[in-house]
Structure 1
Amino acid sequence: MRSLFVAGTGTDIGKTHVACALIRAVRGRGLSIDAFKPVVSGFDPADPEASDPGRLAQALGEPDALPRISPRRYRAPLAPNLAARLEGDTLQLADLVDDCRDRLGCPDRDLLLIEGAGGVMSPLTDDATNLDLMVALNLPILLVAGSYLGTVSHVLTALEVIRARGLAVSAVVMSESLAAPDLVQTGQMLRSFEASAPLILVPRAQAWNASELADLILAPQS
């Protein structure tokens, strides 16, 4: 059983798009996979299918699994701690860590994806960021970025802080942004500065085949 933390260089850069494609690729191989997003904000109860956990549930083929995938859901499209406060809740890092560890402790799948909320350094609570959750869980990181102008700086900065905290990076996935520079050219520029982590480029296509990413994630561990 393996687990992976899906982190992003920012918000709305394709974490869930990549996670859903990976889920479909793993399921296509006859393997079991699940997803867990400990907290989500900007959640519309009137349209749950459009939310990140709703999309993950659809990719898993379990449309009713949304409450299991994301137990803490808040309406306001704000940082989770601010969105929670508007609904009378106070998020604590220890609670989010416990939620994740409870899910990690269930030996019921070949691969579990834990997806963060926002970017690596985005606040989750009043005194903790996604990075703090990542360090507490100590899982390999799948870092997802966009291809917009400036993304190379964001990726390199994210990699710097992730590695400074002793975390391993399984791969960097660059998801094509709208109205962005050429995806391949941007990937080549990133590769000039980052040679160790595998880099996978993701065209903006709903049916992107994540077979290459699945090969990388599921490869035997040395």
Structure 2
Amino acid sequence: MAGAMNGARVFVAGSHTDVGKTHVACGLIRAARASGFSVEALKPIASGFDGADWADSDPGRLLDALGRPLTDDELHRMTPWRFAAPLAPPMAAKLEGQALPLAPIVDVCAARLAATTADLFVLEGVGGLMSPLADGATGLDLMTALTLPVLLVGGGYLGAISHTLTALEVLRMRDQTVAAVVVSQDAQADAPDFAQTLALVATHASGVPVLGAPRSGSDDWAADLLALIGVQPGESA
């Protein structure tokens, strides 16, 4: 993968819904900016979106991590397709009387990737790896169309290891490059031990780097991830 001078581009994908994709994407963005790198991000689709109160939404959190104002223009640039119902995007779009073909989504993503000069470009998917993303297409279809290295985000809840390893196997079967698996710590007090979860995922990840993304504390884990994907902290951007 390209180094920082040519720009690192990654697709942040999830093994399941609400596993912490935005937590990982925001940590990565903050760590890159703290090291002096320029960063851009795109989350093309969001459902369950409240247009009257979106500061804490995924697009709002990404904009905050980037240090961008929470304006309508910035929101539209970050997430062009937004739907109110907390459902898979094609279902949410249908409730609003809209079609949601994959081609325009691919075109917007490809155009942004082609135009960027940022040291790091983070593209965040929606839902899990195989969640329906557009009419007749899943998140995986967007990944294969863009051919970006994937950061696979898994959870720390009971059952998450199976979801993570299954998603990893599917990515391999579709010939996708997996830059790393990032296990996002579960916020529930009764979640399995985080360190043991990390160790078990690493045991079965067959050589793919596995990192943990704690829910509290510093973004040190994200600085390690930057180096792993080719953005080297301490270099001039």
TM-score bracket for the superposition, by shorter chain length: over 0.9
Counterparts in 2 of 1:206 and 1:42: CA distance versus 1, 3 Å: farther
The answer to whether 1:71 aligns with 2:77 is no
| Matches for 1:4-19 after TM superposition, within 5 Å | 4-19=10-25
| Matches for 1:72-151 after TM superposition, within 5 Å | 72-151=81-160
What's the TM-score once normalised by structure 2's chain length? 0.89
For residues 7 and 105 of structure 1, the distance between their equivalents in structure 2, rounded to whole angstroms, comes to: 20
Give the AA of the match of 1:211: A
Q: What SS does the corresponding residue of 1:105 show, helix, strand or coil?
A: helix
**Whose relative contact order is higher, 1 or 2, with alpha carbons under 8 Å and at least 6 apart?**
2
Q: Which moved more, 1:195-204 or 1:167-176?
A: 195-204
For residues 166 and 202 of structure 1, the distance between their equivalents in structure 2, rounded to whole angstroms, comes to: 26
Aligned identity (percent) is 53
Deviation at 1:102, TM superposition (A): 1.1
For residues 39 and 219 of structure 1, the distance between their equivalents in structure 2, rounded to whole angstroms, comes to: 26
Deviation at 1:207, TM superposition (A): 4.4
The answer to whether 1:176 aligns with 2:185 is yes
The answer to whether 1:59 aligns with 2:89 is no
Q: How many residues align?
A: 220
Superposition RMSD in Å: 1.3
Deviation at 1:2, TM superposition (A): 2.2
Deviation at 1:217, TM superposition (A): 1.8
- For residues 35-57 of structure 1, give each alpha carbon's deviation from its aligned partner in whole angstroms, at most 9, with x where no partner exists: 10111101111111111011000
What's the TM-score once normalised by structure 1's chain length? 0.95
- For residues 62-96 of structure 1, give each alpha carbon's deviation from its aligned partner in whole angstroms, at most 9, with x where no partner exists: 02322111011111100001111111211111111
For residues 129 and 206 of structure 1, the distance between their equivalents in structure 2, rounded to whole angstroms, comes to: 34
The answer to whether 1:214 aligns with 2:220 is no
Deviation at 1:108, TM superposition (A): 2.7
For residues 62 and 108 of structure 1, the distance between their equivalents in structure 2, rounded to whole angstroms, comes to: 17
**Equivalent position of 2:199 in the other structure:** 188
Deviation at 1:11, TM superposition (A): 0.8
**Equivalent position of 2:4 in the other structure:** none
Deviation at 1:219, TM superposition (A): 4.9
Gap regions ≥5 residues in structure 2 = 1-6, 233-237
For residues 162 and 122 of structure 1, the distance between their equivalents in structure 2, rounded to whole angstroms, comes to: 14
Give the AA of the match of 1:214: L
- Equivalent of residue 2 in structure 1, options 5, 8, 11: 8
